[in-house]
A and B are shown apart, each in its own frame.
Chain A
Amino acid sequence: MAKNKKGVEIAQIIPDRCIGCQICLGECPVGAIQITSAGVALIDPEACIGCGKCFQVCPVGAVRFERKRHFPINKEKREPEKREAVEFRGVAIFIEVVDGLGAQVSWELVEKGKELAQKLNVKVMAFILGYQIQKIAEEAIALGCAEVHMVDHPLLKKYISQPYGKALAFLCTEVKPEILLIGATPLGRDLSAVVATYLNTGLTADCTDLDIDEERGLLLMTRPTFGGNIMATIYCQQHRPQMSTVRPRVMKAGEKDFNRHGQVYYHDLTVADTPVCEIIDFIREVPQVGGVDITIAPALVVAGKGACDPSSLPMLQELADLVGGQVACSRPVVEAGLMPYERQVGQTGKTVAPKLYIGIGVSGAVQHLVGIQGSEKIVAINSDPHAPIFQIADVGIVGNYLQVVPLLISGLKKRLHTAGR
């Protein structure tokens, strides 16, 4: 038990565990805690009065404090305002409209929303904003939404942050869902931040997993943070709705069944003023010659730093063609100017979830690995037997890719031939 010169039993930070969140700084009544230049908290032993508050609030158990049993955790201030929480019911999904259709990520969220709603014993609702959007309501019901709440208004024909934010915030105050899920697309990320501010509620961005704390009926939102190096589970106890954006392709969409029934409600837009912004033009991204969307390819042949030889590109393309996929790459390959950014996989590139991922000369930095976690099968070819990617690859080859890939191609061709394809 550590004591200071005054004989006070003090708290100490375990630097390896500290994530530098600064929560303890705000709680310390005597200002004994500082963040060091290494980004971790440090308690001044002589200033510490041994109250144990930092121990109580630390989310990661990074405070060593021995007198914990004398200080029962003060739960009082975290109790939800029950009245408010009960008033809010149901799981709402914001359905993003793309070219007159519901976005795929929205349907993925409907499926997840059904699972959450079942645990809470409440309804799943679709919130649709736009102009002439009746068809999407039918789709939402076919995918299992029990209720559809729509604001159909010419002002919402095109997405502009403020009118949309006001309209969705308005819908939330009318319908009062306890949970609101939005796809983490550029539009969804922009919109969710505006809405959360209007509603003065918590928002957790870019979640990769959602669940319900069944004891307390709270939404548990898990997201990667610190560049994908750690995962954090976040909750929002007192404010409603509990808002979360979820990355595309993390959840799976359900099947449409047009025999399903649901209620459609139209809401008049009473809060929106004329938009102050005017969209002048939209320039659709013209796919460059050979341009591809690597996020929808069923198979990816991914070149890493160890496969940066431009002359080997045709060989990688041949392998990709053979497995019915596309060529992609990790960040160093883009930085070397060998492939365009649109083909970059990973934290700063695209999140992919192909059926088959073949990493060639990819070492497997965390930033890359977070972008491929959802892949069905991960295969690695690397000359370094200690490359981190082997720790997650389902099967690997240690060797020079220039020798391995041609044999792989001929081996696969043989098997395709035998299979009669």
Chain B
Amino acid sequence: MHLVCCLKQVPDTAEVKIDPQTNTLLRSGVESITNPYDLVALEQAVRLKEQYGGKVTAISMGPPQAENVLREALSLGADEGILLSDRLFAGADTLATSYTLAKAIEKLNQESPVDLILCGKQAIDGDTGQTGPGIATRLGFTLFTYVIEIPWIDINKKQIQVKRKVEGGVEIIRGPLPALLTAELELAKPRRASLPLLIFSLRAEVKVWKAEKINADQQKIGLKGSPTWVKKIFPPPLRKGGPKFDTQENLEVAVEQFLDNLLADKKFADSLLGRWET
């Protein structure tokens, strides 16, 4: 099987904080990491390779330092790493990104036909979840989003069955290969890198492909190929805090004052005391 895994380098958003005084982002010390959902997709790809044979190609679009993501992928079992890096790719929204990745996968497909593309369900910086479906649509691959399990793949009949998370439950669906799936965290737990692979990942070559290499139409990549533009950016509208009562001096009084304050609005109090009858 030829498995392709798409990975994205993202800022560790859990570490990004807002300065409450100035409302600016405190980014110092924020590290770049591999999108956690993509690592799940990679783990699944490597497991499929171990089960069915074949190879895993890891691919990422980003600035030169996104190479780290591919080195990590190599240390976790990917056979090859390809970085799509070109100034012309910069400023891409999801439409331009899915175009760029699809063009690169088309090229990989010419060299060795791709059976399955694995992506994370979304990236933790943008949270859009649009790039995977976009790639599948462009390539005409069968699309399965929010996958939590792959019960079986029949390589001879070119069929795959997956379990995917949908509203209110789990769907079991089957369809033809080649396919693209996007991974939920439940799909697979990423392993730790082994020492030999770690050494391999440091020595291996990460290929860098530019726009020309993948025959990308310059009108469809980067900022030029992006229909959406950012108009403005602002801190989340924070609500204004009200009074707080300290229990240090007198616990009972503080709680009573608190309750009086909470129930001061008669309409709200009636609603609460009537347990939200309408």
Residues in A lying within 8 Å of B, measured CB to CB:
15-17, 19-23, 25-28, 31, 34-35, 37-40, 57, 59-60, 78, 98, 159-162, 165, 185-187, 189-190, 192-194, 196-198, 200-206, 220, 224-239, 276-285, 298-299, 323-324, 355-356, 366-367, 369-370, 373, 376-380, 385, 388, 390-400, 403-404, 407-408, 411-412, 415-416, 419, 421
Determine if A397 and B255 form an interchain contact, defined as CB atoms under 8 angstroms apart. yes
Task: List A contacts of B89 (CB < 8 A).
Answer: 26
6 A-B pairs whose Cβ atoms sit less than 8 Å apart in the complex: A60-B233, A160-B173, A226-B11, A367-B14, A385-B244, A395-B242
**Contacts known (A202-B228, A234-B230, A285-B169); A26 close to B222, Cβ less than 8 A:** yes
Report if B166 contacts A (CB, 8 A): yes
Determine if B259 and A412 form an interchain contact, defined as CB atoms under 8 angstroms apart. yes
Q: Which of A25, A194, A281, A399 contacts B171 (CB 8 A)?
A: A281
For residues 124 through 152 of chain B, which have their beta carbon under 8 Å from a beta carbon of chain A?
124-134, 136-138, 142-146
Residues in B lying within 8 Å of A, measured CB to CB:
11, 13-14, 16-18, 20, 24-25, 27-28, 30, 32, 63, 65, 87-91, 93-95, 98, 124-134, 136-138, 142-146, 161, 165-176, 222-224, 226-248, 251-252, 254-256, 258-259, 261-263, 268, 271-276
Task: List B contacts of A192 (CB < 8 A).
Answer: 130
Q: Which of A59, A187, A276, A408 contacts B229 (CB 8 A)?
A: A59
Q: Which of A161, A203, A229, A403 contacts B251 (CB 8 A)?
A: A403
Q: Which of A38, A238, A380 contacts B28 (CB 8 A)?
A: A38
**Contacts known (A324-B276, A398-B246, A419-B273); A22 close to B169, Cβ less than 8 A:** no
Counting from the closest, the 6 A-B pairs by CB-CB distance are: A399-B247, A227-B13, A202-B227, A324-B275, A26-B90, A396-B244
Determine if A230 and B233 form an interchain contact, defined as CB atoms under 8 angstroms apart. yes
The dominant DSSP class at the A interface is: mixed
Determine if B223 and A26 form an interchain contact, defined as CB atoms under 8 angstroms apart. yes
Determine if A355 and B271 form an interchain contact, defined as CB atoms under 8 angstroms apart. yes
Determine if B273 and A59 form an interchain contact, defined as CB atoms under 8 angstroms apart. no
Bound CA span A62–B251, Å: 49
Determine if A411 and B255 form an interchain contact, defined as CB atoms under 8 angstroms apart. yes
Determine if B274 and A421 form an interchain contact, defined as CB atoms under 8 angstroms apart. yes
Task: List A contacts of B138 (CB < 8 A).
Answer: 197
Bound CA span A322–B108, Å: 61
Bound CA span A282–B266, Å: 47
Determine if B263 and A396 form an interchain contact, defined as CB atoms under 8 angstroms apart. no
Q: How far apart are B138's CB and chain A's nearest CB, in angstroms?
A: 6
Task: List B contacts of A165 (CB < 8 A).
Answer: 137
Determine if A234 and B273 form an interchain contact, defined as CB atoms under 8 angstroms apart. no
Q: Which residue of A lies closest to B16 (CB)?
A: A229
Determine if B273 and A21 form an interchain contact, defined as CB atoms under 8 angstroms apart. no
Determine if A408 and B259 form an interchain contact, defined as CB atoms under 8 angstroms apart. yes
Task: List B contacts of A390 (CB < 8 A).
Answer: 241, 244
Q: Which of A201, A226, A299, A416 contacts B125 (CB 8 A)?
A: A226
Q: Which of B17, B126, B146, B171 contacts A225 (CB 8 A)?
A: B126
Given contacts A28-B87, A277-B174, 10 further A-B pairs with CB under 8 A are A21-B230, A26-B224, A159-B166, A192-B130, A205-B127, A282-B169, A282-B171, A398-B244, A398-B246, A407-B255
Q: Which of A26, A60, A200 contacts B95 (CB 8 A)?
A: A200
